[in-house]
Amino acid sequence: MGQNSNAFARGKLGSSVPSLMLVGGLALSWTLFAVSAPNDSDYEINLLVVAVVGIIFFTLGLFGLAVRVEGRRRAVDRLATILVTLAFFIALTPLISLIITVVSKGAVRFDVDFFTLSMRNVVGEGGGAAHAIIGTLIMTLAASIISVPIGLLTSIYIVEYGTGKRLTKWITFFVDVMTGIPSIVAGLFAYALFEILLGPGTRVGISGSAALAVLMIPIVVRSSEEMLRLVPNELREAAYALGVPKWLTILKVVLPTSIAGITTGIMLAIARVMGETAPLLVAAGFSNDFNFNIFEDRMQSLPNFVYYSYIAQGSIPEAYLNRAWAGALTLILIVMVLNLGARLIARTFAPKLGR
């Protein structure tokens, strides 16, 4: 049964042609590079370049063949499909490269020492990031304590009390704008605020938390607002009909229904803010030592630890770089766990909207 017996398949390339063309293109490219290589025994054929050139051959070849067999319009369609698929794989490449690098290089110092020691009196080998991890946890906790109530109350105002009012329009617009504040500007603001309060050169943990709160509040407001809007109006109206005051309705009916989504939003905001280096660099400063008091003295944070380990490599660069990679691995693990946990909570506990 040949292709020509099927009237609908006439004038079309067979389904195996693209794959064959891809293999052919890669083979041709490899042969070209192998043949034209200088007789230097040290010369290594760069596989990446071979692959890129091979894909170019494949694209041109398939396009040319399709123009002859299928006609110009269908050939352009094939070209578009190739380009779009290529775009996707190009985007995956940095992600894969990043994950492989961080896991392989971070595993070198991913040991107990790293999680229990600080960098106090450490020059070169040894030391750990325990002070940085604790600092991150403390400052993020303080930032959450500041931003979650304010963010939640604001979203309650927007959804429950403020429909149609002009104040709501301003608040919504500026919250949207604030999601785009550069993180270093938030850090400079917190520094400026505490400089006026406590004198110039102040770098203190609570200042870092203030900067983080400025970044967290818009995220919390937007995600909570979405979740509150998802609560069906019938629930609210049923409560009103039973004589429940508005504030009790919100507390006992609306919030518990949307609590899963709100928790997800808060966890995502925390994950985003945990990885912020620039504001903490400016506001909370740099420290090698444990610090459990947020109101006094500088506090190190994990992203800052990674940054300084890279920027200020000391006598043994290897040791500093290894610590930086281990810190990066820890950071990615924490952020990924928070992200996945948040989505899991959203999936399992979300109110089942009747369909």
Partner 1 sequence: MTQEMGGPTATTPPARPKVVVRVGDRVFSGSARGAGIFILAMLAAVSGFLLLEGFPAIVADPEDISLLSGQSFWLWVGPLVFGTFWASALGLLVAFPLAIGIALFISHYAPRRIATTLGYLVDLLAAVPSVVYGLWGAVILAPAMQPLYVWLEDNLGFIPFFAGPASGTGRTILTAALVLAVMVLPIITAVSREVFLQTPVLYEEAALALGATRWEMIRTVVLPVGRGGIISAAMLGLGRALGETLAVAMVLSATGVISLNLISSVNPSTIAANVALSFPEAYGLNVNVLIASGLILFAITLVVNSVARWIVNRRSEFSGAN
Element (H, E) at 347: helix 317-349
Please answer whether residues 34 and 45 qualify as being in contact, where contact means their C-beta atoms are separated by less than 8 angstroms: yes
Give min distance, CB of 282 to partner 1, in A: 5
Q: Which is nearer to partner 1, 133 or 278 (CB)?
A: 278
Question: Smallest distance from the beta carbon of 303 to partner 1, in angstroms?
Answer: 5
Find the length of the chain.
355
User: Measured from the CB of residue 349, what is the shortest distance to partner 1 in angstroms?
Assistant: 19
What is the distance between the alpha carbons of residues 151 and 171, in angstroms, rounded to a whole number?
12
Residue 107: partners with Cβ closer than 8 Å, 6 or more residues away = 326, 329
Q: What angle do CA 57, 60, 61 make, to 5 degrees?
A: 80
Alpha-carbon gap, residue 48 to 33, rounded angstroms = 12
Specify the residue, 174 or 295, whose C-beta has the smaller distance to partner 1: 174
Q: Which is nearer to partner 1, 21 or 331 (CB)?
A: 331
CA–CA gap between residue 140 and residue 150 (Å, rounded): 15
Rank residues 27 and 246 by Cβ distance to partner 1 and give the closer one.
246
Sequence letter at residue 255: L
Smallest distance from partner 1 to CB 332, Å: 6
CB of 256 to partner 1, least distance (A): 16
For residue 264, the one-letter residue type is T
User: Which CB sits closer to partner 1, 62 or 186?
Assistant: 186
- What the block records as the tokens of 124 is 């070169």
User: Nearer to partner 1 by C-beta: 27 or 336?
Assistant: 336
Cα dihedral: 60, 64, 66, 68 (round 10): 180
Neighbours of 72 (CB within 10 A): 10
Closest CA relative to residue 147, chosen from 170, 188, 185, 175: 175
Give the shortest CB-351-to-partner 1 separation in angstroms.
18
Q: Are 338 and 265 in contact (CB under 8 A)?
A: no
CB atoms inside a 10 Å sphere around CB 134: 18
In whole angstroms, the minimum distance from the beta carbon of 153 to partner 1 comes to: 4
> 128 or 151: whose CB is closer to partner 1?
151
* 245 Rama sector, left if φ>0, alpha if ψ -120 to 50, beta otherwise: beta
| Identity of the residue, 162 or 351, whose beta carbon is nearer to partner 1 in the bound complex | 162
Q: Please, what is the minimum distance in Å from the beta carbon of residue 6 to partner 1? A: 19
Q: How far is the C-alpha of 56 from the C-alpha of 29, rounded, in Å?
A: 9
- 304/280 Cα distance (integer angstroms): 7
Chain-centre distance of CA 219, in angstroms? 14
Cβ nearer to partner 1, comparing 130 with 181: 181
Listed in sequence order, the residues at least 6 apart from 349 whose beta carbon sits closer than 8 Å to its beta carbon are 259, 260
Least Å distance, CB 1 to partner 1, is 26
